[in-house]
Amino acid sequence: MNKDFKQTIKNRPGGENLSLCYSCGSCTATCPVSEQVEDFNPRLIIKKSLLGFSEEVLSGEEIWQCIQCRRCVSACPQNVRFADIVRVLRELAVEEGHFAEDLEERLDDYDKEVLRYRLEILEEVLAGDKDFEDFSLKAGGD
Amino acid sequence: MPDPVVVVGGGIAGIQAATDLAEMGIPVYLIEKSPSLGGRMAQLDKTFPTNDCSTCILAPKITSCYNHENVTTYTMTELINVEGEPGNFRVRLKKRPRYVDEEKCTGCGDCLDKCPVSISDEYNMGMSEYGAIHKYQPQAVPNVAAIDASECLKINEDKCGVCEKICNFDAIEYKQKEKKFVVQAASIIYAAGYEGFSGDLVSDYGYKKHPNVVTSLEYERILNAAGPTDGHVIRQTDGEEVENIAFIHCSGSRDRRTDKNYCSSVCCTYSIKHALITKEHIKDVNVDLYYMDIRTFGKGFERYYNRAQETEGVNFIRSRVSEIEPGSNPGDLKLKATDDDNGYCEQEYDMVVLASGLEPTQQVTDSLQKLKVRTNKYGFVDMDEFNPLSTSRPGIFGCGVVNGPRDIPESVMDASGAAALAGQHAVLDVKDMGVEAAGDQEFRVTQNERTRVGVFVCHCGTNIAGVIDVEEVKEKAAGIPFVEHAEDVKYLCSSDSQDLIGERIKEHNLNRIVVASCTPRTHEPLFMDAIAEAGLNPYLLEMTNIRDQGSWVHKEEPEKATWKAFELIRAGVARVKNALPLERGEVDNIARALVVGGGAAGLNAARELANLGFPVSLVEREEELGGHATSLKHSLEGRPVKPHLDRLIAEVKGHELIDIYAGHEIKDITGFVGNYKLELIPPVPKEVRSDKDLVEIEGGVVIVATGGQEFEPLEYSYQDSEQVITQLELEEELSSENQSLVRDDCEEIYMIQCVGSREEDRPYCSRICCSQALRNAVHIKENHPDKDITILYREMRSYGYYEDLYRKARDLGINFSRYEVDNKPEVSRKGDELTLKYEEPLSGKMITAKPDLLVLAAAILPREDNLTLSQMLKTPLNEDQFFLEAHVKLRPVDSATDGIFLAGLAHGPKNLSETLAQSRAAAGRAASILSKEYLLTQATVAEVDEELCIACGDCERVCAYKAIEVNEEENVAEVNRVLCKGCGNCTGVCRPHAVDLNGFLNQQIIDEIETLLAKDDSEFAKTGGV
Amino acid sequence: MATAQQEAQNKEEEFEPKIIAFLCNWCSYAAADLAGSSRLQYPSNIRTIRIPCTGRLNPLLVIKALDRGADGILVSGCHPGDCHYIDGNYYARRRFTMLKELLEFSGVEPERLNFTWCSAAEGRRFAKIVKQVVDRVESVGPWQGFLTEPGFADGMEVGEIEDGEFL
């Protein structure tokens, strides 16, 4: 356990509000990635970071799965800003050499998957099959 | 006559404050902005944690407040401004036009159905409609209609006018104008209540967009049998009964985006209530509660939560819901949440209820500005925690939700406390006030007269006469035995009809009256007054209810209804002929309060009573005053306690009206309200002590403020390590100079919550530990930022504004981790080294730590001697051995025994500020008794026939008020008329029929039964008539 | 026996049961009032006696009513826990249970003896209760008075109505 991990994140731009989290789970509940990817759980990433499991968090794939849509930022009742925290975690992962060699490739595939999914939705909306309101991505932050 | 007090707000808080002041003999102007008293509580279906019917418990309180001779109620009235200073305020008010004359309108309701306009029914949260002329609620007080000017055709377009045509009392006044006026007041109590958060506060929940998403207040009306759906839980979209329902806690509360970071304190428990009642309404319904922390911190709430969870099958899901989307079927709703184990989850429901929090109404915010009262950042009254209920402006006091989120009992406590403070400005002249007029009036002696009954039958316009043939009933009534005079009257409740009854009594020398009209529940006092006015004892009246339980419910069967009315009148005559003239007795009342306990609660109660002008005897077992509070370093807001406590002690010691018996123990307590005796053992060494040393003190009331004690943990190595201490010990440590435990090499501090609380054998929440731990942790962290502090908790119960403290603690970097009750942290010790292991439930990780200091949030326990004290006081304890209040909702500081009041930890866990508020409430409640020279007993009390009594003691066993006891020497049961409430339980149980209940005598009821079943007048029960 | 049955049947057509209702002042009587102000209709067979609390109800009064020819009895108080006088309704429930057993033993059909609760907000429930009680009493026909010799009354079966709201 790395007790300073929390403070390291808080010291970087975007990570300041990490410890404000009270684990309500709004971030996970609103996350389009979580909806698709079972293991992607922002609430858990924050909790593990707070507890100091730096190795596990930084070496894991999850922090790279975030698509930075910032829904979590607008859904969070405590302004924790998970999307920004993820960016800090990515920085730290790169700095500390947790970026595996094949990761870039896998992430590329992953991005393409996500893009395809977004196009599908867009097509449905344009075809009038779905109400656009249901997909309105709120601009994040305050 | 003391100067009047203005009470703004006619909800439960305002009603309680007004009633307490009025009982102290202080005139009150009660100001209510809506057309009826009752406030939010009148909209509630049931109340937690007993699921009591809200209307049932509230209605009698409203009526007695409204009818109180010292209370003047102004409905539809608002505050303009306030000038002057305490003792001499000039309060400017404006009364909106009601367009109905309050004096003339009898509430008959003739006009209500005829109005051609339909408007949204505010009382039902807009879920149903009523006319432009309407009663604000079915049980409106005053029971008077009101016209909504913005919708009325006559007022706006000079059309219609049908209500004026229909009204038989000439009560409609379309030309009424707004009225401005000024009243003088010594002080002001502000109790204007709250608004539920708007449903669209959290836009992600799609309130209004999805019709089956409702707010909690709307849901109260849906559940209510008299609500828009007649109590059926059905969906607005398709009228289908709900099978699957979700409740979302914190809908807007604890949310920085809504600028409401505070916890609304009541939503957790009321949502549990909603869940339980929903389960009662619909068999097999699935009920899911989405929550972040369950905050059932109030008295008895934890048991309520356990019940919901363990025996009622309510599902609790620890997650905030991020948004609500349309479900797969029309009207259904899809909730997105986070599962503890699996992350993202979604679930569909038929209906979703948003547990909306409490916030001050815009009107409250505006009014507080007009009053020049400082508010906090959330718009509630800014209150000094050492001086609760006082506002920033001297002479103005707040009570109820204007002071911050709180539940009904806390609002009621606030109210009585505010009354104690407001009363101090009204310059009470003790012994010259509040003396009820008993026996002032001499009534005609009727005992030796021939029985002459007068029967008055009311038409109530067409309400009765439209169905029942009133003329025929009257004709027939004239032929009933003992009836001297029968008459039918258009409206018996009008004031000229009251005079008419008086005239007839004199004219025919009537000595018994039967009034056949509406319900005695609302109108009996009126007719009692009318006949008392005519010199007849008011208990020689019988009312028969031929409207509410006659014409209104048998509209389709006019003949049967007519016959029933006649039968009821005949039985009424049979009953009233046995009626005895009753009188309320007078009992001497000692104008002195006996306060037991010299801690913060006792001291504060004593001070407020003395400031009101009442002598006080304060008993404390220790030589030093101050109790528990002496070991507190800082208040929950972080301010030092000692200066305030020292000032309080000095004030009490220096007060000429307060006698202090420090070092005295209580040997015995005897007596009853108005006349209690305490026998005290003085601090004389046992060896040299004799009975002569015993001290006896007397008073009219007793305030129990004996405090509580801290649990001494057996777990977590507390017993064998000096590094393991309790939160209270930590406070003492922080107050001391050297602070040896929080020294530099103490790097890692752990705190464990719920030690001894919320356990199987102690299933209550100790309420203050979460905020206390937060305060101590924040204090340490602020002074020593390098220390690593972790709080292990089960639910973080930082209710109200303490949520801000919780946020601050997180912001400072204090760690928080949850643990499960069935998987508690493990602590072991090796020499000076502590090892703590626990499983973090979200990540499932086992975490091991080496804390240098471990602080336990030990439970607050009832004092061990509570049982002895309760037996001496003859007042019960609750299951957890704290003193039991007379009613959990509406009498939170009264004990079940008259004249005994509760304050502080003796009543249950609470923090210092809450203790101070409650002790003020105890003072207020006590003052409402102490201010009376005599106490009046009820007239309809039990009476024992000594000849028949066999002294079996059954009556004594069933009496909840200890009002009847067997006198062992005389071998006969005796009734204490002061304590008897007239329920008749003793009469119900008495085998030899030796105990009877005045006003409801066995013979009266038997004659009533026999006559009801009589085929004709020849079978009329004639017992007792002459 | 056959003629008695026929007689009862003939009577049933015009049978207007008389039901004595003991209602507590604080909840059930208030519910009856609310039924009125909500204009809910129910049969006029009921004759209400207002008592402060169902705890006041001495068993003697019920027996008296039956003795004088009441076809049915309704006792209604506050819901458990709601008693205005703390616990009077609990005592009433116990007393009534015992009394009912005794009366059933003496040949009174259980349908004649009804105990329930009703809060001040439950006007609709009150109206429903009255209808149910009238139906129950009608189902056993006119009350013939207490038996003077050993035997069983006709139709003496222990039965509960609908949702078991009555004791």
pLDDT tens by residue, C91-133:
999 999 999 999 998 889 999 999 999 988 788 899 999 999 9
Residue B78 backbone dihedrals phi, psi, to 5 degrees: -130, 160
Using a CB–CB cut-off of 8 Å, the residues of B that contact A are 204, 250, 254-257, 292, 318-323, 325-326, 336-338, 342-346, 788, 796, 806-807, 810-811, 813-818, 840, 842-843, 845, 847
Inform me whether the pLDDT recorded for A131 exceeds 60: no
**C122 contacts in chain B (CB < 8 Å):** 53, 225, 231
**B47 contacts in chain C (CB < 8 Å):** none
Interface predicted TM-score (ipTM) of this complex, two decimals:
0.88
> Sign of the C-alpha dihedral, residues B107, B113, B114, B116?
positive
| Residue A129 in contact with partner chain B when CB distance is under 8 A | no
Same domain, A57 and A123: no
Q: How far is A55 from chain B (nearest CA, A)?
A: 14
| Residue C13 in contact with partner chain B when CB distance is under 8 A | no
Look at residue B586 in the predicted model and tell me its pLDDT: 86
| Separation CA C100–CA C107 (nearest Å) | 10
Chains A and B form CB pairs within 8 A to the count of: 105
Return the number of other C-beta atoms located less than 10 Å from residue C117's C-beta: 24
Q: How far is A59 from chain B (nearest CA, A)?
A: 16
The per-residue pLDDT for range B552-582, each reduced to its tens digit, is 999 999 999 999 999 999 999 999 999 999 9
Comparing CA positions, the residue from B390, B450, B456, B444 lying closest to residue B421 is: B390
| Separation CA C81–CA C64 (nearest Å) | 29
For chain C, which domains are there? 16-140 (3.40.50)
Same domain, A86 and A128: no
Is the Cβ pair B225, C36 closer than 8 Å? no
Q: Which residue of C has its CA nearest to B986?
A: C56
Q: Which residue of C has its CA nearest to B568?
A: C47
Give the mean pLDDT of chain C: 84
**C50 contacts in chain B (CB < 8 Å):** 520
| Separation CA B156–CA B166 (nearest Å) | 19
| Separation CA B143–CA B135 (nearest Å) | 8
Look at residue C13 in the predicted model and tell me its pLDDT: 60
Comparing CA positions, the residue from B48, B28, B35 lying closest to residue B141 is: B35
**B981 contacts in chain C (CB < 8 Å):** 85
Look at residue B67 in the predicted model and tell me its pLDDT: 87
Residue type (1 letter), B733 = E
Comparing CA positions, the residue from B307, B308, B316 lying closest to residue B289 is: B316
DSSP B492: T
Chains that touch C (3 or more CB pairs under 8 A): B
Same domain, A16 and A84: yes
Q: How far is CA B244 from each of CA A50, A96, B247, B291, B891, rounded to the nearest angstrom?
A: 36, 49, 10, 17, 36
Cis peptide before B4 (omega within 30 of 0): no
Q: Which residue of C has its CA nearest to B44?
A: C121
Same domain, A83 and A131: no
Q: Which of B43, B45, B53 to mutate to test the interface with C (most CBs of C within 10 A)?
A: B53
Q: How far is C38 from chain B (nearest CA, A)?
A: 8
Residue A61 backbone dihedrals phi, psi, to 5 degrees: -80, -25
Q: Which of B250, B256, B322, B839 to mutate to test the interface with A (most CBs of A within 10 A)?
A: B322
Domain range holding A87?
5-99
Q: Which residues, listed in sequence order, are joined to residue B325 by a DSSP beta bridge?
A: B334
Is the Cβ pair C44, B560 closer than 8 Å? yes
Q: What does the pLDDT average to over A95-101?
A: 84
**CB distance B345 to B288 below 8 Å:** no
Same domain, A110 and A87: no
- Residues with Cβ within 8 Å of A133's Cβ and at least 6 positions away in sequence, in order, are none
| Separation CA B229–CA B235 (nearest Å) | 9
| Separation CA C134–CA C74 (nearest Å) | 10
Pairing of β B972-975 and β B964-967: antiparallel
Is the Cβ pair C88, B985 closer than 8 Å? yes
**A44 contacts in chain B (CB < 8 Å):** 343, 842-843
Is the Cβ pair A19, B257 closer than 8 Å? no
Looking up tokens 């003396």 gives: B435
**CB distance B214 to B274 below 8 Å:** no
| Residue A82 in contact with partner chain B when CB distance is under 8 A | no
A22: alpha, beta or left? (left if phi > 0; alpha if psi -120 to 50): alpha
Q: State the Cα torsion B418-B420-B421-B424 to the nearest 10°.
A: 150
Same domain, A95 and A40: yes
Pairing of β B701-704 and β B833-840: unpaired
Nearest to A77 among B320, B810, B845 (CB): B320
| Residue A55 in contact with partner chain B when CB distance is under 8 A | no
DSSP B172: B
Please name the helix (run of DSSP H) or strand (run of DSSP E) that holds residue B670, with its range, or none: strand B665-672
Q: How far is C111 from chain B (nearest CA, A)?
A: 19
**A48 contacts in chain B (CB < 8 Å):** 843, 845
| Separation CA B540–CA B530 (nearest Å) | 12
Look at residue C3 in the predicted model and tell me its pLDDT: 53
Inform me whether the pLDDT recorded for C4 exceeds 60: no
Comparing CA positions, the residue from B654, B626, B653 lying closest to residue B641 is: B626
Q: Is residue A82 part of a domain?
A: yes
Q: Which of C46, C50, C95 to mutate to test the interface with B (most CBs of B within 10 A)?
A: C50
What percentage of chain C reaches a pLDDT higher than 90?
Answer: 59
For chain B, which domains are there? 1-96+178-194+360-429 (3.50.50.60), 99-175 (3.30.70), 196-358 (3.50.50.60), 453-576 (3.40.50), 588-707+863-934 (3.50.50.60), 710-860 (3.50.50.60), 936-1019 (3.30.70.20)
| Residue A23 in contact with partner chain B when CB distance is under 8 A | yes
Same domain, A93 and A107: no
Q: How far is B311 from chain C (nearest CA, A)?
A: 18
Nearest to C65 among B54, B993, B1009 (CB): B1009
Same domain, A81 and A125: no
Same domain, A30 and A41: yes
Helix axes B520-533, B495-508, angle to 10 degrees: 50
Q: How far is A34 from chain B (nearest CA, A)?
A: 6
Nearest to C36 among B224, B548, B982 (CB): B548
Is the Cβ pair B1002, C39 closer than 8 Å? no
Which CATH number characterizes residue A37's domain?
1.10.1060.10
Look at residue B155 in the predicted model and tell me its pLDDT: 94
Residues in chain A: 142
B561: alpha, beta or left? (left if phi > 0; alpha if psi -120 to 50): alpha
Q: Which residue of C has its CA nearest to B60?
A: C26
Alpha helices in B435-519 (DSSP H): 462-465, 470-478, 495-508
Residue B949 CB burial class (10 angstroms; 0-12, 13-18, ≥19): buried
Is the Cβ pair C37, B138 closer than 8 Å? yes
Is the Cβ pair B988, C58 closer than 8 Å? yes
Q: Based on the structure, what is the number of domains in chain A?
A: 2
Two tokens, residue B353: 């209820």
Nearest to B322 among A26, A38, A44 (CB): A26
Q: Is residue A39 part of a domain?
A: yes
| Separation CA B384–CA B374 (nearest Å) | 11
Residue B708 backbone dihedrals phi, psi, to 5 degrees: -135, -165
Two tokens, residue A95: 């700095």
Is the Cβ pair A20, B807 closer than 8 Å? yes
Please name the helix (run of DSSP H) or strand (run of DSSP E) that holds residue B348, with its range, or none: strand B343-349
Q: Is residue A140 part of a domain?
A: no
Same domain, A54 and A88: yes
Same domain, A61 and A108: no
Look at residue A120 in the predicted model and tell me its pLDDT: 85
Is the Cβ pair A25, B320 closer than 8 Å? yes
| Separation CA B731–CA B557 (nearest Å) | 75
| Residue C27 in contact with partner chain B when CB distance is under 8 A | yes
Pairing of β B833-840 and β B826-830: antiparallel
Q: At A140, is the pLDDT very low, low, confident or very high (cuts 50, 70, 90)? A: very low
Q: How far is CA B887 from each of CA B60, B269, B308, B434, B893, rounded to the nearest angstrom?
A: 14, 18, 22, 25, 9
**B989 contacts in chain C (CB < 8 Å):** 58, 91, 95
Is the Cβ pair B53, C120 closer than 8 Å? yes
| Residue A40 in contact with partner chain B when CB distance is under 8 A | yes
Q: Is residue A57 part of a domain?
A: yes
Q: Is residue A55 part of a domain?
A: yes
Q: What residue ranges of chain B have pLDDT lower than 70? A: 428-440, 738, 740-741
Q: State the Cα torsion B648-B654-B658-B659 to the nearest 10°.
A: 110
Q: Which of B197, B253, B320 to mutate to test the interface with A (most CBs of A within 10 A)?
A: B320
Same domain, A111 and A92: no
